[in-house]
Structure 1
Amino acid sequence: MTRERLYTPVEVVHRKIAVGTTADGQLTFFQMAYVIAGEGRLRINGNRIPYDTGNLMLLTPNDSHSFEPRTPSEFLLIRFNKSYIKEFQWKSLDHMEVLLYHATHLSGCILRCKSDETLVRSIVGAMLHEMNHSGLYNEDLTRHFVNSLIVIAARNIAMIRPANLKANADQRILAIINYIQLNISSPEKLRSTAIAKTFGLSHTYLGSYFKNQCGETILHYIANYRIRLIEHRLKFSDMRVNEIATEFGFTDESHLNKFFKNTAASTSPATGNPHPLYHNPPNPLQ
């Protein structure tokens, strides 16, 4: 298996693939794949996910993948590394980073907002135009398009919700979930009293309201979301454990390690079985 590398912070590739399976590759960078035309399957980490025209898929570092076109397929591949994410002043870096990481856990196209499908199609068309018509500030304009696609991707991935969230969930619960995601590194803002005050609810009602809407307690949701961020730092960053502990409001490495082990040992509220993310959790102190 070839390990694909990126020698610039960002790269845009226009690729056409005939019917058949391409060679397996393992990424060392993020890659957004927009399907300009065609249909088939994306094989990623042993799973086969169908794709179709207009789909936008996101792969993360260390993902193994290949395309299996059923019809001749055309892609625009937008590639960028972690340093590119870090150098750009996103409004919420942590939010952006973890959302990109979570893309692998989605099924197929990451676009959840229907209106964004038209927007992405227009941006891809503009990028293809720039690739075929060199002009003044071509590279700068292309990077603006890339940034727009990253933000749109993040906005749609942010729609990842608790598995049992009601289909007709009201706007308040969605706002509470977004608030939790955006403030996950600020423990004082995630106290139930602080969340209740922010949304004009009583402390008691917040707990029952969240569980009724999401099928799990608010504490369980916050803990699981935080553990995913920690796992991401451990797997994909060169941060030291004490830096991760400080970032997420833990007093020290021991506090972080205890939290990690307790969360890893927690059970799914729906099945009573260990959460699938935590079958073989890494030890932050090893």
Structure 2
Amino acid sequence: MEQLHDTFAIEIAEYEEWQHRSRKNNFFELVYILDGNGFHSVNYVDYPYEENGIFLLPTAKCHQYIIKKPTKFLFVRFTGSYFVSSTNHVDYSCWFSRLNFIMGNHNHLSGELIGDPDDRKQLKRLLDIILYEYNRKDICSSFIIQNTLVSVLAVICRNIQQREWNERTFNDEKFVDLLNFISFNILAPEKLSVKFLANKFHLSETYFSEYFRRNASERFQDYVLKSKLRIAQSRAKFTDSPIQEIALELGFTDSSHLNRMMKSRFGKGMREIRKEMQK
């Protein structure tokens, strides 16, 4: 049985044999293994799973589970079509940015979503709260699930973020904070202007571009564009969102503008990238 909400859907299902899932207008599903074992398979690379495993399942058909022992799954499906102002005190603009960050920075390989053991324990606690409220189904359950999912996304982002920065060394802690801020506000152009960022991080506007280039070894504008294109590439591969919708959400004029930028960086347009994943 599935519990639906504008911004998420939760389902518990038990399979003896994996079934491809029809899921529209969503980014990905978070998969929590309640019981059973087998293999999580991505592009024919298999990774063992067991009880309490936590995985990411994008919409693309390249992901599946090879079930050895009948398995009970908890699916948490995040959607991207209903991020509007709410009276429920959940910041959906923040939620939406984190979904995009995960899509653009997660490697989408087979295996556990969270590498850090402490983060894995924390995520399990949060998913147990969601499971409890799913089964309880009282008047407050949906609200509690909503707010718990905000924390779920934050833990996932932190883990991906730490993995990404551990591969790079920065001497300036302020610069790391600046990169993090850009990553989590990539859909908010008013927060990505030189004037706004210079003021927020106590830098001179005239010095900002030089400061960024010196620390990142690339221009600020190029870094922002690269970040957006990485998200666009991932959404072309792993979601069925319309290309025009992706383009507008990421701040491009239209799908043609996005395609030109994608071809200049990756040598392929959005439709070509999407078709490769559908073969």
Q: Into which bin does the TM-score normalised by the smaller protein fall?
A: 0.5 to 0.7
Q: Give the aligned partner of residue 269 of structure 1.
A: none
- Aligned positions of 1:122-161 closer than 5 A: 122-133=125-136, 135-159=138-162, 161=164
Give the AA of the match of 2:182: I
Paired-residue identity, %: 21
Q: Give the aligned partner of residue 210 of structure 1.
A: 216
Per the TM alignment, residue 281 of structure 1 is displaced from its structure 2 partner at its CA by 4.3
Q: Give the aligned partner of residue 10 of structure 2.
A: 12
Contact kept, 8 Å, 2:40 with 2:65, in 1: the verdict is yes
Encode CA deviations 1:13-71: one digit per residue, 9 max, x unaligned. Answer: 345566xxx23414424321123456542113444234355442122223443323566
Per the TM alignment, residue 227 of structure 1 is displaced from its structure 2 partner at its CA by 0.9
Give the AA of the match of 2:128: G
User: Secondary structure of 1:23's partner?
Assistant: coil
Q: Give the aligned partner of residue 180 of structure 1.
A: 182
Contact kept, 8 Å, 2:35 with 2:73, in 1: the verdict is yes
Encode CA deviations 1:157-201: one digit per residue, 9 max, x unaligned. Answer: 4446379523x8764343232122134346676577875675456
Matches of 1:78 and 1:137, distance apart in 2? 18
Q: Give the aligned partner of residue 268 of structure 1.
A: none
Contact kept, 8 Å, 2:10 with 2:76, in 1: the verdict is yes
Matches of 2:96 and 2:256, distance apart in 1? 23
Contact kept, 8 Å, 1:31 with 1:58, in 2: the verdict is yes
Distance 1:279 1:178, change over 3 A: same
- Aligned positions of 1:231-242 closer than 5 A: 231=233, 236-238=240-242, 240=244
Instruction: Give ranges in structure 2 of 5+ residues lacking alignment.
Output: 275-279
Distance 1:196 1:62, change over 3 A: same
Q: Which moved more, 1:114-123 or 1:156-165?
A: 156-165
Per the TM alignment, residue 139 of structure 1 is displaced from its structure 2 partner at its CA by 4.2
User: Secondary structure of 2:33's partner?
Assistant: strand
Matches of 1:158 and 1:105, distance apart in 2? 15
Per the TM alignment, residue 262 of structure 1 is displaced from its structure 2 partner at its CA by 1.8
User: Secondary structure of 1:223's partner?
Assistant: helix
User: Secondary structure of 2:10's partner?
Assistant: strand
Matches of 2:196 and 2:85, distance apart in 1? 32
Normalising by structure 2, what TM-score?
Answer: 0.65
Distance 1:247 1:126, change over 3 A: closer
The correspondence for 2:32, drawn from 31, 34, 40, is 34
Q: Give the aligned partner of residue 80 of structure 2.
A: 82
Q: Are 1:109 and 2:104 counterparts?
A: no
Give the AA of the match of 1:118: K
Q: Give the aligned partner of residue 3 of structure 1.
A: none
The correspondence for 2:230, drawn from 228, 248, 251, is 228
Distance 1:253 1:32, change over 3 A: closer
How many residues are treated as equivalent by the alignment?
258
Instruction: Give ranges in structure 1 of 5+ residues lacking alignment.
Output: 1-5, 266-273
Give the AA of the match of 1:65: H
Normalising by structure 1, what TM-score?
Answer: 0.64
